């Protein structure tokens, strides 16, 4: 349900821009936050607030992987599968997460805790392979990092600090070294299997 109050907020968002259509993305975020995912009602409300047509809003929703058409798990894990991450071993990360969670990409665990998704480039190519948990990035993801991440999420500790740790470890060594490390990790694991 999109309440009158939320609709008013949407109108307020749109009023901030010279053209109300510019408010489409924040309004969609609001719709998703309100209902948990994007419903036809959410699309209609956003169309109304932005003055765009239903089919245009629909198209935008389909373009961005951060909007969802189905109810999502509490933690949505989006693994980048574009070229840099692919070269740095995202397939292994993805397979590992599928195994650990017992679901396939695109699915949600029965307890509603986790959704696993593949997305196009997250613009974190320098720290590939990269993934996103809800709003937060996890970069240079090795299988161990993935495990750590899952443990923290199960304890509801979030992943906000994880990259900071990496950054600390990376200081001095620089990004390149860092990347090389993680690449080594994944490829050696690959050999081990």
Partner 1 sequence: MAEQEELVNLTIDGQPVSVPKGSVIWAAAQKLGIEVPIYCYHPKMEPLGACRMCFVAVEKMPKLATACTTVVSEGMVVRTDTPAVKKARQGTLEFLLINHPLDCPICDKGGECDLQDFTLRHGPSASRFDLSKRHFQKPIPVSENILLDRERCIACQRCMRFCQTVAMEDGLVMEERGFRTEIGVNPDAPFDSNFSGNVVEMCPVGALTAKSYRFVTRPWELQKTGSVCGNCAVGCNVRVDVRVDKVLRQYSRTNDSIDDGWLCDRGRWDLDAINSLERLRTPLIRKGGKNSELQPASWDEALTLIATRLREITERDGGRAVGGIGSTHTTNEEAYLFQKLFRAGLGSNNVDHRHGRFPATERNGLPWVWSDSIAGLEKASHIVILGADPYHRQPIVDLRIRKAIRGGAQVYVVTPEPNRLDRLATGVIRYQAGQTGTIARALLNVVTAENLTRGDFAEKRSASLDARRTTVAQDTPERAAEIAGVDAAALRELAREIAGAKGAVILYDEMATLEPTGANLAADLLDLALLTDNFGRPGAGVGPLLEDNNSLGARDMGLLPDTLPGYRPVSDAAARAALGGVWNATLPSEPGKSYDEMLSGGVKALYVMGANPASDATPQQLAALNALELLVVQDMFLTETAKRATVVLPAVAYTEKDGTFTNTERCVQVVRRAMQPLPGAKADWEILRGVARALGLHWAYLSPAEILKEIGRATPIYAGVTRRALGDSGARWPLVPGERAADGRPALQSSPYLTWQMVEQGVARGIAAGELVAGRGRGE
Nearer to ligand FES, 44 or 121 (CB): 121
Residues 162 and 150: beta-carbon distance below 8 Å: no
Can you tell me the distance from the alpha carbon of 127 to that of 35, in angstroms, rounded to the nearest whole number?
33
Give 137's strand partners: 132
C-alpha distances in Å from residue 158, one per residue of 41, 42, 138, 165, 166: 31, 28, 11, 14, 15
Using alpha carbons, select from 61, 80, 64, 85 the residue that is nearest to residue 119: 80
CA-based nearest residue to 97, from 135, 132, 71: 132
* Residue 146 binds ligand FES, judged by CB under 6 A: no
Query: Cβ of residue 63: shortest distance to partner 1, in angstroms?
Result: 5
x/- site string to ligand FES, residues 11 to 50, per CB under 6 A? Answer: ----------------------------------------
Q: Tell me the two tokens of residue 75.
A: 């933690």
Contact between 53 and partner 1 (CB under 8 A)?
yes
First to last CA, the chain: 49
Q: How far apart are CA 154 and CA 169, in angstroms?
A: 25
* Position among 5, 18, 63, 135 found at the interface with partner 1 (CB under 8 A): 63
Binding to ligand FES by residue 118, rule CB under 6 A?
A: no
Among 121, 134, 136, 181, binds ligand FES (CB under 6 A): 121
The answer to whether residue 189 forms part of the interface with partner 1 (CB under 8 A) is no
Residue 83 in contact with ligand FES, rule: CB under 6 A: yes
Residues of the shown chain interacting with partner 1 in the complex, contacts defined by CB under 8 A: 40, 43-44, 53-56, 58-59, 62-63, 120
Sites of contact with ligand FES (CB under 6 A): 80, 82-85, 121-125, 128, 130
């Amino acid at each position: 349900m999109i309440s009158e109050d939320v609709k008013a907020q949407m109108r307020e968002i749109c009023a901030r821009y010279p053209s109300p259509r510019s408010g489409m993305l924040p309004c969609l975020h609001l719709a998703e936050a309100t209902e948990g995912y994007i419903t036809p009602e959410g699309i209609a409300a956003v169309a109304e607030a932005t003055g765009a047509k239903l089919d245009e809003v629909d198209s935008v929703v389909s373009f961005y992987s951060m909007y969802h058409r189905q109810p999502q798990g509490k933690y949505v894990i989006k693994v980048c599968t574009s070229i840099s991450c692919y070269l740095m071993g995202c397939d292994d990360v993805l397979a590992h997460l599928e195994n650990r969670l017992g679901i396939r990409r695109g699915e949600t665990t029965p307890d509603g805790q986790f959704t696993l998704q593949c997305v196009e480039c997250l613009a974190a190519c320098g720290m590939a392979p990269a993934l996103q948990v809800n709003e937060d990035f996890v970069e240079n993801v090795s299988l161990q990092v993935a495990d750590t991440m899952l443990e923290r999420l199960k304890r509801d500790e979030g992943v906000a600090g994880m990259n900071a740790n990496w950054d600390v470890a990376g200081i001095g060594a620089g990004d390149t070294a860092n990347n090389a490390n993680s690449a080594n990790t994944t490829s050696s694991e690959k050999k081990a299997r």
